[in-house]
Amino acid sequence: MVATLGPEGWQSVFDSLEELRFFAQVYASGSIRSAADSLGITPAGGSKRLQNLENRIGRRLFNRTTRQLSPTPYAEKFYPHVAAILASVEAAQHALGDSAEISGRIRLTSSATFAGQYLSDVISSYMRRYPAVSLELDLTDRVVDLVAEGVDLAIRYGALEDSTLIAQLIAPCRRLVCASPDYWRQHGLPDSPEDLKRHAALLIGGQDRWQFALGAQRQTVRVSGHFTSSMGEMVRQMALDGHGMALLADWHIAQDLRAGRLVEALPQWQVEPPIGLFAVYPSRDNQSPAVRCFIAHLKEQIEISPLVQ
């Protein structure tokens, strides 16, 4: 005999999923307010969801101070399982849809680096799955004004900032300090973030304040150098050529690290704030089925082929 859930049972399931979804957003953004804004709820409502989840599992998930929110060791272990659960739910909803009914047009923007390294395969499989959908892809490293430029969806990586836009976490990632083996041999590997001040920094968008955390320790270092670019790929190339150290995303340089073309420094330190890969869109209310299916498809593909393997 198959047991069935009554209305209260289903409500409990839905509540649990919303709590997990909020936890994942807080983990990625490091902010209850940012997570609440991205899900279209109040910060008080989000805090209640987080408290309910902590009560449900009997564990504290975040250490809270007046100025900072940091995940506990339990949250670090809990998050990958939560991400897998949410991705499975998305995939199940995706599978129940009829691909033959999905049509329309998607205006999509992404960085050229991410598109070339990962997104092109996702788009190709999506087009095979939904042949009635037309896609227009704009590749740029600038932050596009989605509303003003009529863009349906942006795939962005970085720290989640306060915004009127809706952002769904697709996958967590991390940034790391790296340089070529020759550069480190010539200039020496740093022992602490403070040592980075004496190195030549290759900057993305002029971001010269690098923040680090190790347990309860926090350090902010102002670095300097002779090269800056709006494109992460150009910074990567300069790092490969030995011109200095760079702060780059793990998925961007995973193959370089494996091949020994780049070497990570300060691996015990975490670069802050935490970053992730996000699907960003103007409104949850008017989102088309084609866009919803694209987000679900992207999550599904990352489950099959993770950004960092």
Q: What is the pLDDT of residues 209-219, one digit of tens each?
A: 999 999 889 99
The answer on pLDDT for 280 being more than 70 is yes
pLDDT at 12 over 60: no
pLDDT at 97: 55
Q: Which of 101-105, 234-238, 248-252, 294-298 has the lowest mean pLDDT?
A: 101-105
CB contact set of 154 (below 8 Å; sequence gap of 6+): 108, 109, 110, 144, 146, 279, 280, 281
Mean pLDDT of the chain: 86
What are the angstrom distances between the C-alpha of 78 and each of 20, 73, 82, 83, 250?
10, 9, 6, 9, 21
pLDDT at 7 > cutoff 70: no
What the chain holds in terms of domains, given with CATH numbers, is 7-94 (1.10.10.10), 102-160+281-304 (3.40.190.10), 175-272 (3.40.190.10)
Find the mean pLDDT for residues 9-34.
75
The H or E element that residue 181 is part of is: helix 181-187
- φ and ψ at 271, to 5 degrees? -80, 135
CA distance 296 to 202: 35
Q: Over 90: is that where the pLDDT of 184 sits?
A: yes
Whether the pLDDT of residue 283 is over 80: the answer is no
Give yes or no for a cis peptide into 193 (omega within 30° of 0): no
Report the distance separating Cα 93 and Cα 26, nearest Å: 23
Element (H, E) at 124: helix 120-129
Q: Could you tell me the pLDDT band of residue 28, with boundaries at 50, 70 and 90?
A: confident
Question: Mean of the pLDDT values across residues 164-189?
Answer: 92
What are 25's two structure tokens?
């957003």
Look-up: residue for tokens 């961007």? 252
pLDDT of residue 13: 45
pLDDT at 89 over 80: no
Q: CA separation (Å) from 289 to 67, 102, 104, 295?
A: 39, 7, 9, 10
Could you give the CA distance from residue 138 to residue 305 in angstroms, rounded to a whole number? 24
pLDDT at residue number 33: 85
Higher pLDDT, 104 or 9: 104
Q: Is the pLDDT of residue 226 over 90?
A: yes
Residue 6: the pLDDT is 43
